[in-house]
Structure 1
Amino acid sequence: MSYYSSARFVTLGMFIIDEFSYQDDEGKPIVDRKEESQIGGGGTYASIGARIWLPPTQLCMVVDRGSDWPVPIQEKLDAFGPEMWLYRDQPDCLTTRAVNIYRGDYRGFEYLTPRIRITPRDLTGTRIERPEILHFICSPERAAVIMSEVREVPGWHPTTVYEPIPDRCVPEQLSALIKVLPSISILSPNAEESLSLLSMPSPPTKENIEEAAAKFLDLGIGEAGKGAVIIRSGALGAYVATREKGGKWVQAYWQDQAQVPDVTGGGNSFLGGLAAGLIKCGGDVYAATCYASVSASFIIQQFGLPQMEVTKDGGTLWNGESPEHRLAELHRRHQS
């Protein structure tokens, strides 16, 4: 039987239950700083970033439920729309968990349980086979494997949004990245990752970010070099570039960093918002980046996921505000 996706956007990112460890400069626990376990994972944040703009029927991710699966977490997920989750029971495994370590300016991340990776083959025979846009977060070598599995499916040519995993954004990985870039539609590292991959000096500035984007384009992103690079640059905004139309800066929505208590998931949700923007804007990557910026703004303005409210007319508010209102404000800034 042949299946076609009912979801236009699918992420291969994982669902993770996040734990938190706050330590002083010597690595000792800070006893008065404790956070409860939270819903996490790059795939989860990307999905919520897309959900801000799209109905739940148009997006989906696979969620692996281990033997210790907490029912309250499923209730929280389903509140965003049960259609956007494809649950997969793993009775012989624990639900994927990781700890986020904060020690001074250092931030670490360690898995507490074995990872259960999701691949394009896992979509075969499900209701989310062959989505229009496919997002993944991984090393360049794994990206190559993912793209080889995509090519196994006759007639499937998704727009691919590749988010390099931070600890593989090192100069030694550049050759592997170069090999996979022609298969990738959109490459999106953050600023620090971009400079590291290309052996360029830090700290990030608009000038060296633009230079990095040009270098990535010269390496040949997408079929016939027609792909795009978007370098996510925190408070500086995001720089989006293609060979055809050049580069453009899109502002970060929050100009006052006091409004940003936690950046966890900001980049992932940015790319989910980007995917939604591509759908809503007919593939215009520059216009879609504004949607991405707004999606990230809702994620980073509090700890954990934003609050969604369905209005009487069927619309949605996020943290009590309309995404369309923030999008209009962002457009106004760029026009002034």
Structure 2
Amino acid sequence: MAAVHHPRVFTTLGMFIIDEFQFHDEEDRPTGRSLPAQESSKSDACIIHIGGGGTYAAIGARIWLPPDKVGMIIDRGADFPEHIQQKLDDYGPDMWLFRDSKERVTTRALNSYRGENRGFEYLTPRIRLTPRDLLDTKLWCPEMLHFICSPTRASAIISEVKENEDWNPVTIYEPIPYRCVPEELQSLIKVLPSISVLSPNADEAMSLLSMSGSPSKPLVEEACRQFLEYGVGPEGDGAVIIRGGALGAYVATRKGGGQWIPAFWSEAEAPDRVVDVTGAGNSFLGGLGAGLALLGGNIIEAALYATVSASFTIEQEGLPQLTETRVEGGSVIEHWNGDSPHKRLKELQERLHRQRDM
């Protein structure tokens, strides 16, 4: 008898990437810097590391959901490192759908640092995912569908979603950074009516809208207002969330107005806790998708789940660490980086309530 697969709560179409790192000083000499041992290893002159926006988004959702409620495709080549396989399995093997090929390698990218300047380039061809890749798999028809791409590709993804009349997912769209340029605005406007949640970061939002200046709360609020005027979601009933790093995140809808959600950690208040912001935005949106499902669509409260997910991502280089403790009665309690997501959520809720009362 064929296995019955229940729909996933959150599935991402983002990519899995093996990141390679080179750390050189201003004069291009190796610095000897390394990354955490649990998920990195040295290969020749490089350090290899788990990466990809999809991976961080999936883990952001996994912080709140069991493995069988989260989904992501990983194209696993013949070169797939054993230590990376083990790390992924630690999060729950059922959340990953591996597609194997001995004829190709896993998608890789080089992150090269020369002093504080970062370079990024793909070392292998990218394998882009679309909704059709989910067809007839355990990941088909999730409640929440997350994707990271240009506005033009977003239109193609939405077209494939609409091929199935029985599937109407909450679509969480994260514009890819290098396509957040004024030339893409018209393509974005065309797809916005089919997007449930639009979420660029502050720099990306301002670039798309040709807004000058450094990100600030007034500018972020104005950017949100403009995107909402363009009509996000069916009948304009969608949400815009602009992620502003230390500023926090601004969540806005036409009906409910706007609300600032404070960052859980900020470099000003807790500089030792902000180690690496890589993947924080992706993790935020994974947490958002989980929160939307758990709360029945409350976007403001879901953004608190998102903020907590991001807080675990920025505390170290790489993915947060999951540990499990078996308690009396046989149940298992999960901790991330040694802390409880629910404890952080309660703290953030209290902080937001105090902010509203001021």
Q: Which residue of 1 aligns with 2:69?
A: 58
Q: 1:41 aligns with which of 44, 52, 55?
A: 52
Q: Which residue of 2 aligns with 1:288?
A: 302
Q: Which residue of 2 aligns with 1:160?
A: 171
Residue aligned with 1:254, SS: coil
> What pairs up with 1:134-283 in 2 under 5 angstroms?
134-255=145-266, 256-283=270-297
Distance in structure 1 (CA, Å) of the matches to 2:160 and 2:117:
36
Q: Offset of 1:72 from its aligned partner?
A: 2.0
Q: Offset of 1:101 from its aligned partner?
A: 2.8
Structure 2 portions without partners, runs of 5+: 36-46
Q: 1:326 aligns with which of 324, 344, 358?
A: 344
Residue aligned with 2:21, SS: strand
CA deviation profile, 1:132-155 (whole Å, cap 9, x unmatched): 100000000000000000011121
CA deviation profile, 1:214-242 (whole Å, cap 9, x unmatched): 00001110100000000010011000000
**Aligned partner of 2:289: which letter?**
A
> What pairs up with 1:73-84 in 2 under 5 angstroms?
73-84=84-95
**Aligned partner of 1:301: which letter?**
E
Distance in structure 2 (CA, Å) of the matches to 1:195 and 1:258:
29
Q: Offset of 1:335 from its aligned partner?
A: 1.5
Distance in structure 2 (CA, Å) of the matches to 1:275 and 1:100:
28
CA deviation profile, 1:182-224 (whole Å, cap 9, x unmatched): 1100000000000000000121000100000000001110100
Alpha carbons of 1:40 and 1:143: their partners in 2 closer, same or farther (altered >3 Å)?
Answer: same
**Aligned partner of 2:343: which letter?**
H
> What pairs up with 1:1-20 in 2 under 5 angstroms?
5-20=6-21
Q: Offset of 1:172 from its aligned partner?
A: 0.8
**Aligned partner of 1:320: which letter?**
G
Distance in structure 2 (CA, Å) of the matches to 1:235 and 1:112:
32
Distance in structure 2 (CA, Å) of the matches to 1:201 and 1:222:
27
Distance in structure 2 (CA, Å) of the matches to 1:269 and 1:39:
14
Q: Which residue of 1 aligns with 2:325?
A: 311
Q: Offset of 1:93 from its aligned partner?
A: 1.2
Distance in structure 2 (CA, Å) of the matches to 1:248 and 1:108:
35
Distance in structure 2 (CA, Å) of the matches to 1:225 and 1:175:
17
User: Mean alpha-carbon deviation: is it higher for 96-105 or for 297-306?
Assistant: 96-105
Q: Verify the 8 A CA contact 2:276 2:316 in the aligned structure 1.
A: yes
Q: Verify the 8 A CA contact 1:21 1:34 in the aligned structure 2.
A: no
CA deviation profile, 1:236-275 (whole Å, cap 9, x unmatched): 1000000000000001000323311101110000000000
**Aligned partner of 1:21: which letter?**
Q
Q: How many residues align?
A: 335
Ranges of 4+ aligned residues in structure 1 off by more than 6 Å: none
Distance in structure 1 (CA, Å) of the matches to 2:161 and 2:5:
14
Instruction: Provide TM-score, normalisation by structure 1.
Output: 0.96
- Matched residues, percent identical? 59
Q: 2:311 aligns with which of 287, 297, 303?
A: 297
Distance in structure 2 (CA, Å) of the matches to 1:227 and 1:22:
42
Distance in structure 2 (CA, Å) of the matches to 1:90 and 1:203:
45
Q: Which residue of 1 aligns with 2:31?
A: 31
CA deviation profile, 1:30-86 (whole Å, cap 9, x unmatched): 433344311111010000000000011111100110111112211110110011000
Residue aligned with 2:332, SS: coil
Residue aligned with 2:171, SS: strand
Alpha carbons of 1:128 and 1:324: their partners in 2 closer, same or farther (altered >3 Å)?
Answer: same
**Aligned partner of 2:319: which letter?**
L
Q: Which residue of 1 aligns with 2:41?
A: none
Q: Offset of 1:23 from its aligned partner?
A: 3.8
Distance in structure 1 (CA, Å) of the matches to 2:124 and 2:112:
16
